[in-house]
Amino acid sequence: MTLGKEIDGKAFAAKVQDKVAEGVAAFTASQGRKPGLAVVLVGEDPASAVYVRSKHKMTLKLGMESFEFKRPANISQEELMELVEELNGDPRVDGILVQLPLPKHLDEQAVVELINPDKDVDGLTPISTGRLALGLPGLVPCTPLGSLMLLQDELGDLSGKNAVVVGRSILVGKPMAQLLLNANCTVTIAHSRTQDLAGVIHQADIVVAAIGRPEMIKGAWIKPGATVIDVGINRVPAEEEGKTRIVGDVDTASAISHVAAITPVPGGVGPMTIAVLMRNTLFAAHLRAGLPAPLGL
């Protein structure tokens, strides 16, 4: 039995970060200011707080300016909208990220739609989404773009490959499918109502799992030699009483003997998400300064 390879997302993310740091230095030298990222965190969700902290640290590490806005869970829609408008108008801010999900009483879509598309480093505004659907240049959601970069690094040209995206979320599934389509894959989007999910997945040369169900996709469903990107980050109870660990949407133990390559969780897509956020912030800074996009990213 041959075992597939684990894709080292952390190592690839480190390479992306190095290139971003170079681009940041060049931008700062030519513009006399650093690119800036503003992150808005509403509420006290501990997992979100951890992600926001690692984004903050990475932003500073790569030489950019980081602005953090922590607001209580009971913030009103109006106050949150005012904050976003303020950031839209702040010349030091090139990228705006509102950490999702927001507390239930807030209208997430209205907040996202207010973000200036030129500062939309999450790629979630209708303008960014529309550009992606049209195949035009623009800011692309971080997790899907990071996943595509890993696939292209692993497989080279993706033309003609059968890709199945499992999950249809706005943040991951839908933009992932668009990116794969733009890369000339034959794309299927599967979801909770899909019939014979195992059979659909078995057709795929590329599987992107983004459903948010721990270890749901089993090895036997995967076509031998397929490449698998596991986007899932699910916290489950660990063996040790009271502790938790994170697992993906793919049952790696059974999948590893079927795949050519698979991303682990943690250490796969997660680190790429943050690296691409940094890249998108650098891109947004260039866009706002009227400079061409930096090369090699």
Ligand X SMILES: Nc1nc(=O)c2c([nH]1)NC[C@@H]1CN(c3ccc(C(=O)N[C@@H](CCC(=O)O)C(=O)O)cc3)C=[N+]21
Report which of 3, 9, 6, 7 is spatially closest to residue 270, judged by C-alpha positions: 9
Token pair of 282 as six digits: 């650098």
Least distance between ligand X and beta carbon 250 (Å): 13
Name the binding residues for NADP(+): 167-169, 233
Least distance between ligand X and beta carbon 127 (Å): 16
Residue 33 or 71 having the CB closest to ligand X = 71
Residue 4 or 232 having the CB closest to ligand X = 232
Cα–Cα distance for residue pair 50/37, rounded to 1 Å: 17
Cα–Cα distance for residue pair 140/125, rounded to 1 Å: 10
Least distance between ligand X and beta carbon 274 (Å): 5
Residue 219 or 264 having the CB closest to ligand X = 264
Is 195 tagged catalytic?
no
Name the binding residues: 167-169, 233
- Give yes or no for a contact between 294 and 34, defined as CB atoms under 8 angstroms apart: no
Report which of 15, 121, 127 is spatially closest to residue 67, judged by C-alpha positions: 121
Least distance between ligand X and beta carbon 193 (Å): 24
Residue 40 or 177 having the CB closest to ligand X = 40
* Active-site option among 94, 122, 230, 251: 122
Is 196 tagged catalytic?
no
Sheet of strand 36-42: strand arrangement: 65-71, 36-42, 95-98
Token pair of 203 as six digits: 């057709």
Least distance between ligand X and beta carbon 179 (Å): 15
Phi, psi of 2 (to 5 degrees): -90, 145
**What is the number of the residue whose Cβ is closest to ligand X?**
270
- The dihedral built from the CA positions of residue 151, 157, 159 and 160, taken in this order, carries a sign that is negative
Query: Which residues contact ligand X by CB under 6 A?
Result: 51, 54, 97-100, 122, 142, 233, 246, 265-267, 270-271, 273-274
**Paired strand residues for 244:** 237
Token pair of 82 as six digits: 């005012």
* Active-site option among 99, 161, 174, 249: 99
Is 55 tagged catalytic?
yes
* Active-site option among 34, 55, 161, 174: 55
- The dihedral built from the CA positions of residue 218, 223, 229 and 231, taken in this order, carries a sign that is negative
**Which residues are the active-site residues?**
55, 99, 122
